[in-house]
Amino acid sequence: MQGKTVARYGTWASPVTPDVVAGATVSFGELAVDGGAVTWLELRPAERGRSALVRWTPGSEARDVLPAEANVGSRVHEYGGGAYAAGDGLIVYSERSDDSVWLVDADGSQRALATVPGCRYAGFSIDAARGRVYAVREDHRDRPPTAPENAIVVLELAPGNDPATNAGRIIAGGSDFVLAPQLSLDGSHLAWIAWDQPDMPWEATRLWTGRIDADGNLTGERALAGANGGEAIVAAQWTPGGTLLFTSDRTNWWNVYACDGDRVDALAPVAAEFAEPPWVFGRRMIAPLDEERILCAFVREGVVHPGLIAGGTVRELPYGPVDTTPLPLAGGAVFIAAPPDAPAAICFAPRLDDSEHIVLRAANAQALAAADVSIGEPLAIPTDDGETTHLFFYPPQNARFTGPAGERPPLIVMSHGGPTSMHTSSLNVGVQWWTSRGFAVAHVNYRGSSGFGRAYRGRLAGAWGVVDVLDCISAARRLAELGRCDAKRIAIRGGSASGLTALLAVATSDVFRAVASSYGVMELESLAGDTHKFEARYTDGLVGPLPAMRERYRERSPVNHVATIDVPVIIFQGLDDHVVPPSQATAMRDALTARGVPVIYEAFEGEGHGFRKATTIRRMFETELAFYLDVFGLTA
């Protein structure tokens, strides 16, 4: 084998081409099982960012269920998810382009159920025996843009209703938000989660149940858990025998509980998370096999493990890291594999406890060679204020290149959005874009991230723009001190909430030489007033209530720190963003330009909060790479 070519870090020729990072890799989500059929969604950047519904049955190839123009998606809570359900051979889905709801019959024929302008739907639960589907409806009709009505509604599946007027009949409401309607297998009971502002669903929610009468209405509604506040219940699921399972963080960790009547039992209590913040609908971390066994996924140190809860304990299954819980299928399990060294894949393990599995679909047919993949090293880093933050460190990795002796690589510090979210160990092609070119990457799960318990998640209360910023600064400093990077070539990048983190980090320290923001938060006070309902009171907990804390909002807004930003800035923004309006990005651009700070601004038509199109993603990565090479004085 020939030796590696010596070249400066950051300039290596990479197998992660623009097409690989932008268009050749799909994303999987919303895995479901209906009898022997497996369905899932594929987000396809190469098809203008549409989500295709795919079905696999034994003995056949995976195939698209819907025509090429269909785009399965929901805009409830703006972030969507829960855009379809499959049951008894039927599929109900939401069309993202116009929020309409459609039924796909067992023979493949389609017809509209609801096409009411202003109504959005998600979280479907099909009752095929009674010809109904339950869903969360977000009703924007005749209401202010930031104050739609959220409720659980029932839509009749039988033909004859006019879809133009069939918005659904409300059966549960009265709360600011509802989530995850779950119908018991016998169709007799419905469970759902509700909460009110200013709480977010990872702060305080209530678990409700009610009996379904012959007309599909709820009777005997009662709150089973969460009525006293102080706990976040974020998932519920019925067992085949009618026991209600739910996840709660009442003991710091999101663990699994069983509710049978008035009795609530903890199942396999451990220091791990069997849930995640419900930013989107449709993600599951528990799936009952029977009355005694539960398939699950649990998070520990940023890794999502597949597991089986039985007999009061949880046992890890031999599938490697996963995206969400495996689902029972034909005596085995189907799951979305999320390894750190290969693209995600839809897999079927014919035997529950066997690592042998069949790949039904891979996210990228052109998988990277193992020698080109950088594996994230989990680190616990001391912070400058005496606490601890968590991160994954990715060293440069390329089969054909190595850096010059004595030279250390440039570092890109990243942090996730949310800010109540997390970065996991699964392969991230966007990270590999940088590491395969000779950059090191630190992906910080700052204090306030999920996956490390309620107490760690709560570290961000009133401290957004402070502890997250300090954690990123501390991580960069510690890695430089450890000799893992070049202290004079460190950049920071962030998107959405972490755009604020990144910009404040460069404004309040001298650690970084460049900063990149994608649809980042620039100004907090207008964000709190202009953003959508789901996040309209989010900043109450992260920063403080208005108007009492107005001065704090100004202190934490990057646009008010332009005077201390002296490094080059690059800003990417979607012009259809309803979470962080484009006006924030242009205000930041103009303020930096007025000071003479080098700034690049790229705006994208047809993109919202998070980029979906291959052309946009390609442009962003290519432009950002050229930006860093210029700032760091490197030549590709």
Mean pLDDT (10-residue bins), the chain, 636 residues: 87 91 81 96 88 94 94 94 96 97 93 97 96 97 91 94 94 94 95 96 96 93 89 96 96 95 90 96 95 96 96 96 96 96 94 94 80 96 95 97 96 94 92 97 97 96 97 98 97 95 97 96 86 91 95 96 96 90 93 96 91 89 96 84
Helix axes 497-507, 467-481, angle to 10 degrees: 60
Please give the pLDDT value at position 365: 59
Predicted pLDDT at 145 = 78
Q: Which pLDDT score is estimated for 3?
A: 86
At 238, which amino acid appears? W
Distance between CA atoms of 279 and 277, rounded to whole angstroms?
Answer: 6
- Contact indicator for 586, 556 with CB cutoff of 8 Å: no
pLDDT in tens, 113-159: 999 999 999 999 999 999 999 999 999 999 987 899 999 999 999 99
pLDDT at 23: 64
How is the beta sheet containing 110-114 ordered, strand by strand? Answer: 84-87, 90-94, 101-104, 110-114
pLDDT for res 24: 61
d(CA 249, CA 55): 35
* Largest pairwise CA distance in the chain: 76
Could you tell me whether strands 599-604 and 569-574 are parallel, antiparallel, or unpaired per DSSP bridges? parallel
Does the predicted model carry a pTM greater than 0.95?
no
What integer best gives the mean pLDDT of the chain? 94
How far is Cα 51 from Cα 297, in angstroms, rounded to an integer?
24
- Alpha carbons 519 and 498: distance in angstroms, whole number: 9
User: What is residue 601's predicted lDDT score, i.e. its pLDDT?
Assistant: 96
**Nearest-angstrom CA–CA distance, 211 and 213:** 6
- Spatial neighbors of 622 by CB under 8 A, at least 6 apart, are 18
CB 114 within 8 A of CB 133: no
Position 121, amino acid: Y
Q: Report residue 585: phi and psi, to 5°.
A: -65, -45
- The confidence score (pLDDT) of residue 1 equals 44
Q: Which fold has domain 368-631?
A: Rossmann fold (3.40.50)
The pLDDT assigned to 636 comes to: 55
SS3 476: helix
Provide the percentage of residues in the chain whose pLDDT is more than 70: 99
Question: In this structure, which amino acid lies at residue 221?
Answer: E
At residue 596, the pLDDT reads: 95
